[in-house]
Amino acid sequence: MTATEDILRRAHELGKLIADHEAVRQLNQTLDNLKQDTDAQRALSDFERHVQTLGEKQAAGKPIEVEDKHKLQSLQLAVARNPLLRDLQVQQMNYLDLLRQVDEAMRREYEPEEKL
């Protein structure tokens, strides 16, 4: 039987390997670039704030007005047109794909085989 300490040590090693992966390095670089780009930050925060406002309206049973929908489209377009934010989406997808692959590899090891 494997000791908990051994599992935790190997998990720590896996964490280091993941942190050193190209997908993680590129995501971190993109996040660093985002910290320096006030236009991209503003576009993203305006979009997120409006989405939150619409969610609150919907949860409260209030109608989403046409002008709210137009504003959402305008903010989505501003995010989509920003090259740094487009790159951020790509890097986030690459990172999530890496984690999905790791999860699948681990799952194959511990899922019980189907009994006939």
pTM: 0.78
Q: What is the reported pLDDT for 111?
A: 72
Count of other CB atoms within 10 angstroms of residue 40 = 21
The per-residue pLDDT string of the chain (116 residues; one tens digit each, 9 = 90 and over) reads: 679 999 999 999 999 999 999 999 999 999 999 999 999 999 999 999 999 999 999 999 999 999 999 999 999 999 999 999 999 999 999 999 999 999 999 998 777 666 55
Q: What is the reported pLDDT for 110?
A: 76
- For residue 57, what are the contacts with CB-CB under 8 A and spacing of at least 6? 63, 64, 68
Q: What is the reported pLDDT for 112?
A: 66
